[in-house]
Amino acid sequence: MARASHKAKILTVGMQVVHAHGFAGASVRDIVQAAGVPQGSFTNHFASKEAFGLEVIDLYFANARKTISETLRNDQLPPLQRLRAYIDAGIDRLNKNHMRDGCLLGNFAAEASGWSEPIRQRLNDVFDEIQQSLAYCLRAAVKAGELDAHLDSEEMAGFIVSSLQGANLLAKAQLNPAPVERFRDLLFSAILPRVHAAKATL
């Protein structure tokens, strides 16, 4: 029982350490010290730092899935309202530490995907799931008459994922949410092929 709780603590606290200092910048010693557990607890639960990183990604994305469920896949809300809520939730997350942490998924992609094939593959799976959820929301917007029926929802979803990741990195570098807010505003005002009758809904 104690070992199981140690693992949960290492993952929860370790995710915060990695988010703040980067995957390479967060040593195993830093992680166990922050978690207040013996260093041997780390090796008891993780075969390597790479294995730890994979579980950190899964833990972070488990929280992101909750946001996706409450926004993009929440069929109780109008589709474009869901999309805006999803982007705004990301801005709120960035604001929690004044933009210093950025998006953990984007940080891993920039830092670790070049040397760890398992991490690269896991990130691709995560981004694909996010893209599919965005496409689901966009298809719902087309069906509801909020977006033009000719919209390629998959292509637009891929564009939103890549644009948001770039905007997140800039927000982190500038310590300012403006890049993400700019993308959100342009997405709704100029990029999405809106149906005129839907303009009054947002």
Residue 19 has pLDDT above 50, yes or no: yes
Does residue 169 share a domain with residue 100?
yes
| Least confident stretch, 71-85, 154-168, 188-202 | 188-202
Instruction: Report the C-alpha gap between 109 and 119 in whole angstroms.
Output: 8
Residue 187 has pLDDT above 80, yes or no: yes
CATH code: domain of residue 26? 1.10.10.60
Does residue 143 share a domain with residue 85?
yes
What angle, 0 to 180 degrees and rounded to 10, lies between the N-to-C axes of helices 153-174 and 104-111?
A: 90
- 197 or 129: which leads in pLDDT: 129
Q: Report CA dihedral (155, 161, 162, 166) to the nearest 10 degrees.
A: 150
Does residue 88 share a domain with residue 63?
yes
Structure tokens at 116: 């760890």
Q: Please state the pTM of the whole predicted model.
A: 0.89
pLDDT at site 197 = 47
Altogether, the residues listed in the chain come to a count of 202
Does residue 72 share a domain with residue 117?
yes
Identify the DSSP state of 147.
B
Does residue 10 share a domain with residue 86?
no
Instruction: Report the C-alpha gap between 111 and 119 in whole angstroms.
Output: 10
- Per the structure, the count of domains in the chain is 2
Does residue 65 share a domain with residue 94?
yes
CATH code: domain of residue 160? 1.10.357.10
Q: Using pLDDT thresholds of 50, 70 and 90, give the confidence band for residue 198.
A: very low
Residue 157 has pLDDT above 50, yes or no: yes
pLDDT at site 21 = 87
Mean pLDDT of the 4-14 span: 87
Does residue 103 share a domain with residue 55?
yes
Does residue 73 share a domain with residue 41?
no
pLDDT at site 50 = 94
> Could you say which of 26, 46, 66 is where a domain stops?
46
Does residue 26 share a domain with residue 82?
no
> What are the helix (H) ranges across the chain?
2-21, 28-35, 39-45, 49-70, 79-95, 104-111, 117-143, 153-174, 178-186
Does residue 97 share a domain with residue 147?
yes
pLDDT at site 87 = 98
Mean pLDDT for the chain overall? 91
On whether the CB atoms of residues 16 and 34 are closer than 8 A, the answer is yes
Structure tokens at 166: 């770039």
Q: Using pLDDT thresholds of 50, 70 and 90, give the confidence band for residue 110.
A: confident
Does residue 154 share a domain with residue 97?
yes
Residue labelled with tokens 């342009």: 186
Q: Which of 180, 183, 55 is nearest to 119 (CA)?
A: 55
Residue 172 has pLDDT above 70, yes or no: yes
Give the structural domain span for 26.
1-46
Does residue 174 share a domain with residue 79?
yes
